[in-house]
Amino acid sequence: MTDDQKNQLLNEAMNEHGDMIKRVIYSYVRDIPKAEDLTQDTFVKFFTTLDRFEGRSSLKTYLYRIAVNESINYLKSWHKQKVSLTDKLKKLGRRKSVESTYIQQEASSEIQQVLERIPIHYRETLWLHYYAELSVTETAEVLGCSPNTVKTRLARGRELMRKQLEVDGFEHKTAPE
């Protein structure tokens, strides 16, 4: 791969995935300046390792894996015990009344607090699949596990969250059929 091709891929990756990569990293480190630094480190590593990229996964999942590894390495280096996620759920994409917006924000805050209390392997799986909108296969590639492991973690993570939300008094309502 030529340097021009690598530069073009880097620019495309930064434009297309830069914000999400920063959010993924922030979900681990919970520090905006550090997330920005690690985002830059992620793209530097992406650029310098492109020649070793074998194409067994998409460039997107390759980039996410680098971001996750950079975040984990940072946390290990500082002996951090608590890993948090971003405090925003993805938006519904439709207009809402002030009341429904307030209710959603309250629910989002409660869900965020519960998400922070479940084990990291469930938290990162739920986050990558639902918030970063990666497929099960892409999530598996990023986490370095099988798609069946991702499915199991998603199911167990949802169940842990449901139970904790019930303990916290959050009502679970199913949609009408």
pLDDT given at position 132: 75
d(CA 59, CA 1): 14
10-residue mean pLDDT profile of the chain (177 residues): values are 86 93 87 92 93 83 91 68 36 48 58 78 85 84 90 92 79 48
> Which option is the CATH number for 97-168: 3.40.605.10, 3.30.70.100, 1.10.10.10, 3.40.190.170?
1.10.10.10
Using one digit for the tens of pLDDT, what is the confidence trace for 29-63? 878 999 999 999 999 999 999 888 887 888 888 99
pTM of the predicted model as reported, rounded to 2 decimal places? 0.54
Domain extent listing, the chain = 1-84, 97-168
CATH 1.10.1740.10, domain 1-84, yes or no = yes
Buried b (16+ CB within 10 A) or exposed e, 75-91: beeeeeeebbbbeebee
Query: Are domains 1-84 and 97-168 of this chain identical in fold?
Result: no
